[in-house]
Amino acid sequence: MFVDVAFPISQYQVFTYRIPKQFAEVVSVGVRVRAPIGKRILSGIIVKITKDTSFTGKIRKISEVIDGTPLLDESLWQLMQWISNYYITPLGKAATVIPANLSIKYKPQERWMVQAKQMGKIEEDLEKSAPAQANVLNKLMEHKEPIPITDFNKLVASPLTVCKGLEKKGLVKLFKEASTPITSNFEFDPIHKEIYFSDTQVAAINKIQKYIKEKKYSGMLLHGVTGSGKTEVYIKIAQDILEQGKSIIILLPEIALTPQIAGRFRAVFGDKVGLWHSKLTGAARAFTWTNICSGKYRVVVGARSAIFAPLKNLGLVVVDEEQETSYKQEAPDPRYHARDVALMRGKLQNAAVILVSATPSLESYYNRIMGKLDYCYLPERFNDAAYPIVMVVDMIKEQEETGKIGQILSSSLQQKIEQRLKNKEQIILLQNRRGYAPIYRCRDCGEMIICPTCSIPLTYHRVGENLQCHFCGYLQTKIPQQCSHCNSSNLALSGTGTQKVEDIISDTFPNAKIARLDMDTTRLGKALTNTLTKFKDGKIDILLGTQMIAKGLDFDNVTLVGIINADTGLFLPDFRSGERSFQLIYQASGRSGRRKKQGEVVIQTYNADNPVIRYAARLDLKKYYNIMIGERKELNYPPFNWLAKAEFTGVKKSIVDKTANAIRNSFQKKFKGMEILGPAWCYRERLRGKYRMQIVFKSSKETDPNGRKLHQYLKNNLLNKKIGSAVKINIDIDPVSLL
Ligand code: ADP
Ligand code: ZN
Ligand code: ZN
């Protein structure tokens, strides 16, 4: 018997092996094995089993079978094949979405527990004959519950021996217990709520249930203004599906950032829910995975990769905040988009897929116009909460009027903050840049201090007094006093990050309690949860942060949202930068006035006439989306065209340049409806020591309705080209960013 094995390498080829007798019974398609390839032994996945082989070379043997049963069932296996095809990634690489070194043979660690059999006083005999035992027993009698024997590590030299002695005398109960790994770092305590659905909510629920009943598979967009109860609506649908005995996946863009929602799920789904996210420890990951496989967890809440959770009898997938770009895996391969994989998984397993958003991606918005997605809209906020009043502050005018250049807080925003503080209401301030100042520059020659491997400006951090690269993490603790180019000592910080805003608000409002949330303060999940809990309990007046505070948060007493600089990101050279800025402003505004009190939003901008700012300020999504649709159509961008990007990276600039151009020149004839742009240097030309060039491909959906022509073209022209090892080519299908 022979098997074909796919490895996580960049070749499409599969390799044939002989099966040693002892493995004959356990091998099947989808089982992971380890096998020699060249001089190494790698793990790969069995993709085919045959009696004979036409391969005439030397056939080696499988070294080891990793899992006794296939890691993936038939339909997940199909999904993997779709990913491999669609994202042009070898199957062995596609399968790496299943966490590495995850064993389904996982057994939780066990630990010894001990419990006193009787309370009260110990006998004097014991104190004399066995003082160590007496010591332990004394302590034990302070607890009613069993405790781990490791608690006595400090008290006696060998707690296990001592406890065994006590057990012999019949004084204690000693037993082993499986210790479950901690998976709860990012959860809020369960948040219980009384839910009475409004008429519009009931209508939405009925409509969605109808879709689900009528069709086996249904993809739909649940679009609702911020605070309309979208979360409650899909929780209700999920409960129904759970009652029918089916299972559910709920995807969130970054679960570690959404402890509030996790707490809500905990309350509703109890111990049926497992959380799946990037910060789980190895043991917690294996533990969770085992519980998913065994059917104990029937609801999986997680980030991107949770879409591959091996739940049986899947009934529903929810993709919350479906517009978020973190659903796209940008590296390594496969560069999949979890939303699109969700829709495909739904099709393969006859499950409903609900995309949820207040600001849908333009793709989904357009797909529902074209009838590819069913649609459900929640037009009003729950409980008659009014929409916030939005005010745009033109910072250029402000400059002219006050004569102060580069103000961080306009007088209007300052006044409104004062007023809220007086009323004991809370404030959220958004500044979508972390650090203190993003640029450190020579005032005489303009030279900037840049990352030695990324060639982008280093950000100054006042906390820790250092310069950091926000791409590769490079840290420079010595802050230069002189320009390396002209030796001038006239160096200055420019631009504004969250730390600087924090300084300024603390100076302006010395009595206010302020907290900052950004990547720097939330590296440890607990810090995030703590800050949000404090804010909820009213122990913080002003919450300041990056985009991570713009979405999903739901606080009763927030009546003012200030956007310190709405222009951040607006002019990045990417066709989606307008869409992103609009969504960010709209979402952030949605945090204000979610209950009885009228909310307000202040948007500070130097581009008050820009359509993104204008329509975001009116909260007029439809108008702005229509403008975007027009622009995308004119410029042949998605959703009207397929888009793909080939990225060439290498250490030597000239070689990257030469290779990219040579490949470009070798392309065969374009087909009708296709456009090729580039090669051009990427906007961030050098990252992590590597130069980057890109070629962008567009293919009209009119002439290439399912993108097959484009895929074929990329395969023929880019794959298996001999280019040497100095340059790497990555193909990105449906890239979310062209930067
Ligand atoms: P969205 O996801 O649309 O922003 P949420 O589902 O978070 O909105 O709802 C906003 C707030 O209103 C939440 O605190 C939610 O619990 C509450 N809410 C929404 N619908 C109901 C309901 N039918 N009964 C009680 N509370 C509700
Ligand atoms: Zn200089
Ligand atoms: Zn760097």
**Domain residues of the chain, as ranges?**
2-97, 110-178, 199-383, 385-434+501-630, 438-494, 640-733
Fold equal for 199-383 and 385-434+501-630 = yes
Report the pLDDT value the prediction gives residue 555, as an integer from 0 to 100. 87
Partnered with residue 466 across adjacent β-strands are 461
Q: Closest-lying ligand to the alpha carbon of 489? A: 2
Residue 122 has pLDDT above 80, yes or no: no
pLDDT exceeds 90 at position 47: no
Distance from Cα 471 to the centre of ligand 3, integer Å: 5
Query: Which two tokens mark 72?
Result: 């993936």
Q: What strands, in cross-sheet order, belong to the sheet with 459-461?
A: 459-461, 466-468, 475-476
Tokens 């497992």, residue?
Answer: 274
Q: How far is the CA of 438 from the centre of ligand 3 (A)?
A: 13
Is the per-residue pLDDT at 628 higher than 90? yes
Query: Of the ligands numbered here, which is closest to the C-alpha atom of 470?
Result: 3
The CATH number given to 2-97 is 3.40.1440.60
**Which residue CA neighbors atom 18 of ligand 1 most closely?**
229
Q: What is the position in ligand 1's atom list of the atom closest to the CA of 358?
A: 3
Q: Which of 84-98, 108-122, 182-196, 318-332 has the lowest mean pLDDT?
A: 182-196
- Judged by average pLDDT, the poorest of 122-131, 639-648, 697-706 is 122-131
* C-alpha closest to that of 534 among 548, 551, 550, 516: 516
Mean pLDDT of 197-212: 93
Rounded CA-CA distance 370/475 in Å is: 49
Cis peptide before 334 (omega within 30 of 0): yes
Query: How far is the C-alpha of 172 from the C-alpha of 181, rounded, in Å?
Result: 26
pTM of the model: 0.86
- What b-and-e string marks burial along 259-290, b requiring 16 or more CB atoms within 10 Å of the CB? bbbbbbbbbbbeebbbbbbebbeebbbbbbbb
Q: From the alpha carbon of 231, which atom of ligand 1 is closest? A: 6
Ligand 1 geometric centre to CA of 82 (Å):
37
In the structure, what pLDDT confidence band is assigned to residue 290 with cuts at 50, 70 and 90? confident
Ligand lying closest to the C-alpha of residue 357:
1
Ligand nearest to the CA of 552: 1
Identify the residue with better confidence: 637 or 592: 637
pLDDT for 188: 56
Separation of CA 551 and ligand 3 centre (Å) = 28
Q: What are phi and psi of 635, to 5 degrees?
A: -95, 10
Please give the CATH superfamily to which domain 199-383 belongs.
Answer: P-loop containing nucleotide triphosphate hydrolases (3.40.50.300)
Listed in order, strand segments (DSSP E) in 426-539 are: 426-430, 439-442, 459-461, 466-468, 475-476, 491-494, 514-517
**DSSP one-letter code for 549:** G
Report the separation in Å between the CA atom of 230 and the middle of ligand 1, taken as the mean of its atom positions: 7
CA of 702 to the centre of ligand 1 (A): 41
Q: How far is the CA of 127 from the centre of ligand 3 (A)?
A: 64
Determine the residue of 231, 359, 621 to mutate for testing ligand 1's pocket, defined as the one with the most ligand atoms within 8 A of the Cβ atom.
231
Ligand 1: residue of 252, 376, 382, 555 to mutate (most ligand atoms within 8 A of CB) is 382
The model's confidence at residue 131, banded by pLDDT at 50, 70 and 90, is: confident
Closest by Cα among 119, 240, 241, 263 to 184: 263
The atom number, within ligand 1, closest to the CA of 228 reads: 3
Share of the chain above pLDDT 70, in %: 96
H helices present in 478-636, as ranges: 498-508, 525-536, 577-589, 611-617, 621-634
Ligand 1 centre from 590 Cα, in Å?
A: 13
CA of 361 to the centre of ligand 1 (A): 22
Atom of ligand 1 nearest to the CA of 229: 6
Atom of ligand 1 nearest to the CA of 590: 4
Query: Of all atoms in ligand 1, which is nearest to the CA of residue 225?
Result: 3
pLDDT at 38: 86
Tell the CATH superfamily of the 640-733 domain.
Answer: Ribosomal protein S10 (3.30.70.600)
CA of 688 to the centre of ligand 2 (A): 25
Element (H, E) at 661: helix 653-666
DSSP letter at 647?
Answer: E
DSSP alpha helix (H) spans, 488-620? 498-508, 525-536, 577-589, 611-617
Are 612 and 581 a contacting pair, CB within 8 Å? yes
Length of the chain as a residue count: 739
User: Whose Cα sits closest to atom 17 in ligand 1?
Assistant: 229
Nearest Cα neighbor of 69 from 22, 104, 19, 34 is 104
pLDDT of residue 263: 78
CA 381–ligand 1 middle distance (angstroms): 8
| Architecture of the domain defined by 385-434+501-630 | 3-Layer(aba) Sandwich (3.40)
Tell me the best of 201, 221, 536, 554 to mutate to test the pocket of ligand 1, counting ligand atoms within 8 Å of each CB and taking the most.
554
Between residues 189 and 490, the one the model is more confident about = 490
What's the pLDDT band for 566 if we cut at 50, 70, 90? very high
Q: Which residues share a beta bridge with 729?
A: 648
Q: How far is CA 83 from each of CA 76, 271, 538, 609, rounded to the nearest angstrom? A: 10, 32, 47, 43
Query: What are the φ/ψ torsions at residue 53 (nearest 5 degrees)?
Result: -140, 145
For the CA of 487, the nearest ligand:
2
The predicted-structure confidence for 402-442, as pLDDT tens digits, reads as follows 888 888 999 999 999 999 999 999 999 999 999 989 889 99
* Closest-approaching ligand to the CA atom of 486: 2
Provide the CATH number for the domain formed by 110-178 in this structure: 1.10.10
Q: Please, what sign has the CA dihedral across residues 199, 200, 202, 203?
A: positive
Between the CA of 624 and the centroid of ligand 1 the distance, in Å, is 26
Pocket test for ligand 1, best of 188, 205, 232 (most atoms within 8 A of CB): 232
Position 66 scores a pLDDT of 83
Per DSSP, 166 falls in state: H
State the DSSP code for 327.
G
Under the banding of pLDDT at 50, 70 and 90, the label for residue 539 is very high
Starting at the edge strand that comes first in sequence, how are the strands of the sheet with 15-18 ordered? 60-61, 15-18, 2-6, 40-50, 32-37, 64-65
> Does pLDDT of 101 surpass 70?
no
pLDDT digits (tens, 9 = 90+) for 328-370: 998 888 999 999 999 999 999 999 999 999 999 999 999 999 9
Which ligand is nearest to the Cα of residue 225, counting in written order? 1
Q: Which of 260-264, 294-298, 547-551, 594-598 has the lowest mean pLDDT?
A: 260-264
Q: List, for residues 451-468, the tens digit of each pLDDT value.
A: 988 888 899 998 889 999
pLDDT digits (tens, 9 = 90+) for 256-277: 666 677 778 888 998 898 888 7
Residue 489 β-bridge partners: none
Give the Cα separation of 568 and 223 in Å (integer).
Answer: 26
Predicted pLDDT at 563 = 94
> What mean pLDDT do residues 498-507 have?
94
Specify the residue with its C-alpha closest to ligand 1, atom 4.
Answer: 227
Q: How confident is the model at residue 182, as a pLDDT?
A: 58
Pick the more confident residue, 511 or 265.
511
Farthest-apart Cα atoms in the chain, separation = 96
pLDDT bucket at 183, cuts 50 / 70 / 90: low
Reading the block at residue 29, the tokens are 């398609």
Pocket of ligand 1, beta carbon within 6 A: 193, 195-198, 201, 224, 226-232, 382, 554
pLDDT at 258: 66
* Atom nearest to 232 CA in ligand 1: 6
